[in-house]
Amino acid sequence: MATELQGFLQTLKEKTNIVEVASGYVSLERRGGSYWACCPFHHEKTPSFAINEADQYYHCFGCGESGDVIKFVQSMENIDFMDAVKLLADKAGLTMPQTGFDNRQTVELKRKKDAILKILNDCAHFYLKNLNSGNADEHINYILKRNIPSDIVRKFGLGASLNFYDLPKFLLSKGYSRQDMLDSGAINEADGRLLDAQGGRLIYPIINAMDEVVAFGGRVLKKTEFAKYKNTKETVVFNKSKTLYNINLLKKLRKTQTISEVIVVEGYMDTISLYQAGFKNVVASMGTSLTQEQARLLKRYTDNVLISYDGDGAGQKANMRGLEILKEAGLNVKVVPLPEGLDPDDVIKQRGADGYRACLASAMPLIDYKLKTAKGSLDITNNEDRQKYVAEAIKIIKTADSASEQEDLLKGLRDQTGISYESLKRDLNSAPKAPRPAAEQRPERRDDSSVQKKASRFIIAAFLFGARFAADADISAIPFKDGVHEIIAKYIRSKQLLEERVRPSELFEFFEENTEEFTELTKILDYSDGNALAGEVAEKYFYDCIKSLKLSEIDERVETVKRSAEAETDLNKRKLLAAELQKLLIQKKKIKSGEGL
């Protein structure tokens, strides 16, 4: 990494407080010298995610996620290193250096992303100009028909594609390359000709949380064999499963008020209608089943999600997996019942904001909704249908979080079916517990490391986190075998020689993420909780660990000398090896007695 870049990153981190940055994403509580929160990277009810303000890094003692402020922003915003640095630099008022940040491949990727974002931004302005050109009568008529006022049109950046050919000509006139235009997703190619991918449609710009246009949704205005709605294909800046429509305005809303809940709808018009009616805490999944990435995105803004999909039982049932994903992410999920056949846009138009507010007031917990869906059109006065419903309902009730909730649900099932509570309770007790979906399970942080590796971690941690009993020990005299431990030990020793403070956050620059080396670093960070490195027991263990490593090294040298002596035929050389062996055995005896530690 270039010296100029290193200096810039150091300055950036000095001007950026990770606690201030993280507090914009998670709710932090100060305990002792650290700030704690429920981890934003895995579901948990008891906080195990800690931020060390003094050393400017975070570590989750549950899942092992660790890093500095740049990595935190990367993870929370789903952006790359360069974009995270730029975001933080903008907030800190720093000018980015002109030197390259990485290899040629990374530089090309950055160039590609920047070019595509510029193309999409120009497309959005082009579409908006079309809408106001006087040539977009069909688009304007549709907007008027849907009662979308001009200020909302501007707020959401709605635009018009008039045909398939004007946009490619416009972009070429701006000097964009043919390949970048195709890679942006805004342009398609057919028989060698460039075409507007949203040709003739009403345009809905899709804007990310960074306020960048990353894609477009388009709606046809005439009956056609084509799909009514069409999204831009996935690109280097757009992944539908990681994006929520209107997330940009939700982020701005959070700056002005606390968001107690977020309404999730399916489509563009549902979002716009609700926003116009005063429900500004709304986003859309754009017709897809909700994903883990979208769940994480929602959790940045609230713990409470109201699902408001079309009032079509079959349609909502198809999205059940997405609702489960939200729950697995630790969100409190409720489902908003809508009149059969109506979507949120229809409710607003037919019953107004008060009518939709009444729907919100009737929102039911996810488990209640699952029971309602399980019942569906079954006739529970019919014995066969009743047994089907009871069998499915028992499976659902088994997933309830507490015994008291199970009891309440069983009583409700009893009242519905006429089956005794005792019978239902027996069925519940005998029902197998539903396994957590494999896709949602986080790999266990198994540790089958050797005794020597665990000893090395503890020693390194004691030096790294300033344990009192490590002050008089010489880290350069400890024989570490693992490459990660050797690198950290050299870093610590260099800081000691310069009489500078050891900063654990600097270690994240030494090891590449998603490698065995980085994982080893996170296991060392597990000792950063001060209790692990305090007290007489910890002090004794520290010196026992040093003794263990030194004895292990002596034993290896002893074995090497013994093998050499056995193979040696020269008598004088064998005598020298015997003397060396004797010295090693004396040294081993001293280490065992506690000398030389």
Q: What is the CATH number of the domain that holds 147?
A: 3.90.980.10
Say if residue 457 is in the same domain as residue 325: no
- Is 68 in a helix, a strand, or coil? coil
Asked, for residue 98, whether it belongs to a domain, the answer is no
DSSP state, residue 63: T
Residue 409 pLDDT greater than 90, yes or no? yes
- Gap between the Cα atoms of 166 and 373, Å rounded: 48
By the 10 Å C-beta count (0-12 exposed, 13-18 middle, 19+ buried), 292 is classed as middle
pLDDT at 26 over 90: no
Whole-number pLDDT of residue 99: 56
Query: Which residue from 203, 345, 362 is spatially nearest to 274, judged by alpha carbons?
Result: 345
Amino acid 439: pLDDT: 37
* Co-location of 584 and 458 in the same domain: yes
In angstroms, rounded to a whole number, what is the distance separating the alpha carbons of residues 168 and 176?
10
**549: CATH:** 1.10.860
Angle at CA of residue 285, ends 279 and 290, nearest 5°: 125
Average pLDDT over residues 493-512: 88
Is there a single domain that holds both residue 152 and residue 72? no
Co-location of 436 and 463 in the same domain: no
Exposure b/e, 210-242, CB count within 10 A at least 16 = b: eebbbbbbbbbbeeeeeeebbbbeebbbbebeb
Q: What domain range includes position 227?
A: 103-236
Answer yes or no: do 405 and 336 share one domain.
no
Token pair in block for residue 136:
């977009």
Spatial CB neighbours of 102, under 8 Å, sequence gap ≥ 6: 81, 82
E-assigned strand segments in 505-580? none
Report the distance separating Cα 302 and Cα 394, nearest Å: 31
* Cβ neighbours for 208, distance < 8 A, ≥ 6 positions apart: 214, 237, 243, 247, 248
Rounded Cα distance, 364 and 514, in Å: 40
Give the chain's length.
Answer: 597
Distance CA 442, CA 89 (A): 33
Regarding whether 463 and 341 lie in a shared domain, the answer is no
Q: Assess whether 481 and 428 both reside in one domain.
A: no
Residue type, 25: Y
466 shares its domain with 584: yes
Region 49-61: mean pLDDT is 92
Contact 506, 491 (CB under 8 A): yes
**Under DSSP, is residue 88 helix (H, G, I), strand (E, B) or coil?**
helix
Same domain, 336 and 296: yes
Mean pLDDT of 213-227: 88
From 92, 112, 147, give the residue that closes a domain.
92
Which of 20-29, 76-85, 116-125, 522-531: highest mean pLDDT? 116-125
Q: pLDDT over 90 for what percent of the chain?
A: 56
Tokens of 318: 């198809």
The conformation of residue 232, written as its DSSP 8-state character, comes to: P
Report pLDDT digits (tens) over 418-434: 999 999 999 999 888 76
- Give the domain CATH number at 12: 3.90.580.10
Quick check: 513 and 70 in contact, CB under 8 A? no
Number of other residues whose CB lies within 10 A of the CB of residue 165: 13
Same domain, 208 and 290: no
Q: Which amino acid is at 425?
A: K
Average confidence (pLDDT) over 540-567: 91
For residue 201, being part of any structural domain is answered with: yes
Phi, psi of 485 (to 5 degrees): -65, -40
Residues 77/87, Cβ–Cβ less than 8 Å: yes
Can you tell me the mean pLDDT for 154-179? 97
Final residue of a structural domain among 317, 335, 369: 369
Binned at pLDDT 50, 70 and 90, residue 521 comes out as very high
Any residues with CB less than 8 A from the CB of 283 and at least 6 apart, and which? 244, 245, 246, 247, 250, 262, 263, 264, 265, 271, 298
**Cβ neighbours of residue 591 closer than 8 Å, sequence gap 6 or more:** 547, 550, 551, 554, 597
User: What's the CATH code of the domain at 251?
Assistant: 3.40.1360.10
Residue 398 has pLDDT above 70, yes or no: yes
Q: For residues 503 and 550, state if they share a domain.
A: yes
Same domain as 361, residue 387? no
Look at residue 157 and tell me whether its pLDDT is greater than 90.
yes
Give me the mean pLDDT over the 284-307 stretch: 88
**How much is the pTM?**
0.71
pLDDT of 172-204, one tens digit each?
A: 999 999 999 999 999 999 999 999 999 999 999
Query: Hey, CA dihedral for 537, 540, 544, 550, is it positive or negative?
Result: positive
566: left (phi over 0), alpha (psi -120 to 50) or beta: alpha
Q: Which residue has the tokens 């981190």?
A: 13
Residue 267 lies in a domain: yes
**Rounded Cα gap, residues 282 and 334, in angstroms:** 14
CA 2 to chain centre: 30
Give the end of a domain, one of 325, 347, 369.
Answer: 369
User: For the ranges 39-53, 111-125, 128-142, 244-258, which has the lowest average pLDDT?
Assistant: 39-53
Number of domains, the chain: 5
Dihedral, 575, 576, 580, 583 alpha carbons, nearest 10 = 70
Q: Which of 5-9, 101-105, 148-152, 505-509 has the lowest mean pLDDT?
A: 101-105
Beta-carbon neighbour count of residue 575 at 10 Å? 12
